[in-house]
């Protein structure tokens, strides 16, 4: 039997076809535009996502026995605000996870409502990318659109709705809205009231591996699929990537170097750090996780390579880097502001330490190191909670770089496991589809059988010690610049 995983990313939809043994049979990618109407704003048209689904599935399954396709599930960009009216039409472009317009709304939630109350209601505090502040922004700045709202959705859930007709979400994605009581896995009535939202305007909530319905007959006919195909709830992209890397159960870790960057720690127990620097979310395996999220990770390298030094020869530029641990240039990777652990939408990308002998290779290396150092910031929060992480898996576009993997291993001083499939959310989505269709009894069973480690990058004692000294410098830079960023 075959299963489809849809990875709704920020720049493209990646579609993956997998059999019951975890073998990837085909991968297709469909790009769509992103708009930045004002500095710090980030939007997309959900209709573009749907067209990518139609075109992508058609291409994905053109050469296979379509009667063998049993289920479709998702990994999707989190936090985006999708609003539909009474006719199921998109009211306005979706406000995305990396949009920073909600500074005032976050200040209202964090300082007038209060972080303690928010944490009590949702296990988290307000970050600029979360969904609830976006709802408050629409309520204040676009009241005519706010009045039209019939359904509030997350990005991947719009696709599930178009496919199945079921208004649904899952626990992992709902956790990032600041409307969800993570501990009890239900909507927070207090937060819905604060945002002026009625219960019927938010979806029914499922575990990530649960079936929400079957594909609509007219969509099945359009795509050439059997009407028996099940639609499984799916997960937020980071939780889906964790499934795809085997980060399930208790005390496992995954690092994702995608457009954004995350460090994801799975747990069987619900927990919150005292300062809410890490997100406390429900996991797609039925349990919980802690996550640190930086808004710009591999996107920093893309920006540096393509927009600044005008090349797409990523590996060629990295080949010029000869020595690690001795770079005098530092880079703060806050191109879209920063979430974990600083929660500062005003922060900006910063180079520091250049001199007349600084080279292009030094600058390139500083970008790679800066992302790793920022990732370490979140790891240190986890360590302060007594969580003893010794090793991690890694995924995302940036994880394809051997150099960057080596830097991550030594900056974080972790064993870094390379898995056979680095497809992250798409593979995780396909695994969730397989579980939802009964091919496996649980997400943990599926991950144990399907996810295979093929290599491990170990930290080198001398290099890790050099990077330890560099990190001690790095972590002093942001506090020193924090008051300057708002002036920019």
Catalytic residues: 237
The structure tokens 């689904």 sit at 53
**Distance linking the first and last C-alpha atoms of the chain:** 55
Asked if residue 93 lies in contact with residue 259, where contact means CB atoms within 8 angstroms, the answer is: no
The answer to whether 79 is annotated as binding is yes
Cα–Cα nearest to 206, from 434, 403, 487, 432 = 432
Separation CA 426–CA 7 (nearest Å): 5
What is the separation of C-alpha 394 from the centre of its chain, rounded to a whole number of angstroms?
13
Q: What is the largest CA-CA distance in the chain?
A: 66
The residues near 72 (Cβ < 8 Å, ≥ 6 apart) are 3, 4, 5, 6, 163, 215, 229, 230, 231, 232, 433
Asked if residue 344 lies in contact with residue 482, where contact means CB atoms within 8 angstroms, the answer is: yes
Separation CA 380–CA 403 (nearest Å): 23
Separation CA 97–CA 95 (nearest Å): 7
Q: In three state form, how does the secondary structure of 368-383 look?
A: HHHHHHHHHHHHHHHH
What is the separation of C-alpha 32 from the centre of its chain, rounded to a whole number of angstroms?
18
Residue 34 exposed, middle or buried by CB count within 10 Å (0-12, 13-18, 19+): middle
Separation CA 127–CA 143 (nearest Å): 22
The single-letter DSSP state of residue 93 is: P
Asked if residue 164 lies in contact with residue 158, where contact means CB atoms within 8 angstroms, the answer is: no
| Beta carbons within 10 angstroms of residue 88's beta carbon | 12
What SS3 class is residue 267? strand
The structure tokens 């300082």 sit at 111
What is the separation of C-alpha 434 from the centre of its chain, rounded to a whole number of angstroms?
22
| DSSP one-letter string for 432-471 | HHHHHTTSSSSHHHHHHHH--EEEEEPPPHHHHHHHHHHH
The answer to whether 153 is annotated as binding is no
- The alpha carbon dihedral of 417, 470, 346, 107 has a sign of positive
- Which residues fall in the annotated binding site? 78-79
- Which residues fall in the annotated binding site for substrate? 78-79
């Amino acid at each position: 039997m075959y299963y489809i995983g849809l990875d709704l990313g920020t720049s493209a939809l990646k579609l993956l076809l997998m059999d019951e043994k975890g073998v990837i049979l085909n991968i297709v990618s469909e790009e769509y535009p992103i708009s930045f109407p004002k500095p710090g704003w980030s939007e997309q048209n959900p209709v573009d996502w749907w067209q990518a689904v139609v075109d992508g599935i058609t291409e994905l399954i053109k050469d296979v026995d379509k009667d063998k396709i049993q289920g479709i599930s998702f990994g999707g960009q989190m936090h985006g605000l999708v609003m539909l009216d009474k006719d199921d039409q998109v009211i306005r472009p979706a406000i995305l996870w990396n949009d920073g317009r909600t500074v005032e709304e976050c200040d209202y939630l964090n300082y007038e409502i209060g972080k303690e109350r928010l944490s009590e209601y949702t296990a988290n505090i307000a970050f600029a990318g979360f969904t609830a502040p976006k709802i408050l922004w629409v309520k204040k700045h676009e009241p005519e659109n706010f009045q039209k709202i019939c359904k509030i959705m997350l990005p991947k859930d719009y696709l599930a709705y178009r496919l199945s007709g079921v208004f649904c979400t899952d626990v992992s994605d709902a956790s990032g809205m600041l409307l969800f009581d993570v501990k009890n896995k239900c909507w927070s009535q207090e937060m819905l009231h604060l945002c002026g939202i009625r219960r019927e305007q938010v979806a029914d909530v499922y575990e990530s591996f649960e079936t929400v319905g079957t594909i609509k007959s007219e969509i099945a006919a359009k795509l050439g699929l059997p009407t028996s195909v099940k639609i499984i709830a799916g997960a937020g992209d980071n939780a889906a990537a964790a499934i795809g890397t085997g980060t399930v159960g208790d005390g496992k870790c995954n690092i994702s170097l995608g457009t954004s960057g995350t460090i994801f720690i799975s747990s069987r127990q619900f927990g919150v750090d005292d300062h809410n620097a890490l997100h406390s979310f429900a996991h797609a395996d039925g349990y919980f996780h802690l996550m640190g999220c930086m808004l710009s990770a591999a996107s920093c390298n893309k920006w540096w390579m393509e927009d600044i030094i005008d090349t797409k020869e990523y590996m060629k530029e990295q080949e010029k880097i000869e020595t690690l641990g001795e770079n005098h240039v530092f880079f703060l990777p806050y191109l879209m502001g920063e979430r974990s652990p600083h929660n500062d939408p005003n922060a900006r990308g910063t180079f520091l330490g250049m001199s007349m002998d600084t080279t292009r290779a030094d600058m390139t290396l500083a970008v790679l190191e800066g992302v790793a150092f920022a990732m370490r910031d979140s790891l240190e929060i986890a360590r302060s909670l007594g969580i003893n992480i010794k090793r991690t898996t890694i995924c995302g576009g940036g994880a394809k770089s051997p150099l960057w993997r080596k830097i991550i291993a030594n900056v974080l001083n972790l064993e870094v496991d390379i898995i056979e499939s680095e497809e992250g959310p798409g593979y995780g989505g396909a695994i969730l589809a397989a579980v939802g269709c009964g091919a496996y009894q649980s997400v943990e069973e599926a991950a144990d059988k399907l996810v295979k480690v093929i290599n491990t990058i170990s930290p080198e004692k001398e290099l890790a010690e050099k990077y330890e000294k560099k990190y001690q410098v790095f972590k002093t830079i942001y506090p020193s610049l924090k008051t300057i960023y708002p002036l920019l």
